[in-house]
Amino acid sequence: MSELDELKCIGCGAPLQSDNPEAAGYVPEHNLFREDVICKRCFRLKNYNEVQDVGMNSDDFLNLLNGLADKKGIIVNVVDVFDFEGSFINALKRIVGNKKVILVANKLDLLPKQINKRRVTEWLKKTARKYGLEAETVVLISAEKGWGIDDLMQAIESHRNQQDVYIVGTTNVGKSTLINKLIEQSVGEKDTVTTSRFPGTTLDMIDIPLDETSFMFDTPGIIQEHQMTHFVSDKELKTIMPKNEVKQRVYQLNEGQTLFFGGLARIDYVVGGKRPLICYFSNDLNIHRTKTEKANDLWRNQLGSVLTPPSDPTKFDLDNVKAVRLETGKEKRDVMIAGLGFITIDAGAKVIVRVPKNVDVILRNSIM
């Protein structure tokens, strides 16, 4: 193997090359042998927050991660606490073998301040268990704000037994931001890994030394097809992904009324008398109320104008939408739309949620 084969971008881990400006890992030839080179894509991302498409789908990502099953070490699985069901990797147990797993719930700063952290931790443990993942411990953090990083470092040290640490997660969970914080704490260098909110931006495994013999590896973000983030452009992604604490929006609804979340999803309130629906979505996402009898026409005629995102109605297929019927039963529940947000509804309600067919809708006991 030549020296060139082994050169990797320190931002995304892609092998460096100077032949094809459109492919992953491109650098102009005169920069190729400098120290700590970042590729054109990472350079654009870091300096201009611009993304370049690099073809890597869920299968490629999963194949790369499948290789972890044979390696020694522990797994730090980063999820988005605001979108836990959407950001949970169902195949994780199969991918990681019998390794210990620390479950890290990031973006705690997005949840309303009045949230009960103990209840959230219990819910995460219970739900992970339901999905077949028995976590050694659950740590709540905000990589953005630096909350809980010390707790996480302690958890990693107490479980890793001098072994390597593999950090895995779907795209957009803030994995790279977290790694930057961990590097800052351990090595003192800032911004060594590319951080960005665009799906699929950490290409290959990036290693960060922990001590003389062991490393922390940042793995690629897996792109999950069941998240709403796949139905929006990069620009619209910034609208639907919360950046700050999510403010609850309360709508008093009568039976036969509908709420639209942009033009991406809607909830029809069917049975349960007049009641509040409490919505937790990005503060930038427009919520529109209408009568259910008018909702179909409104969706067809106003998609891309009154109901946005998506801003381009041709990119959103209304014939490919499913209806999910839910009943809250005897308890307060959250209706979770993967990659978008959730609606808290008290006991005794019937609703229909309409979303693109691939997008998951989950009914859970309320975390609020």
Indicate if the pLDDT at residue 240 is higher than 50: yes
- Where exactly are the structural domains of the chain? 1-53, 58-224, 239-365
Q: What own/partner pairs with CB < 8 Å and gap ≥ 24 does 55-63 have?
A: 56/24, 56/200, 56/203, 56/220, 56/223, 57/223, 58/222, 58/223, 58/224, 58/225, 61/200, 61/220, 61/221, 61/222, 61/223, 62/91, 62/95, 62/222
Confidence of residue 172 (pLDDT cuts 50, 70, 90): confident
What's the pLDDT at 196? 47
CA distance 269 to 328: 12
CATH architecture of 58-224: 3-Layer(aba) Sandwich (3.40)
CA distance 83 to 202: 20
Taking only the tens place, the pLDDT of each residue in 282-298 is 999 999 999 999 999 99
What's the pLDDT at 199? 47
Taking only the tens place, the pLDDT of each residue in 81-129 is 999 988 998 878 777 778 899 999 999 999 998 889 999 999 999 999 9
Taking only the tens place, the pLDDT of each residue in 256-282 is 999 999 999 999 999 999 999 999 999
What's the pLDDT at 225? 73
Give the strand pairing for 74-80 and 165-169: parallel
Higher pLDDT, 194 or 109: 109
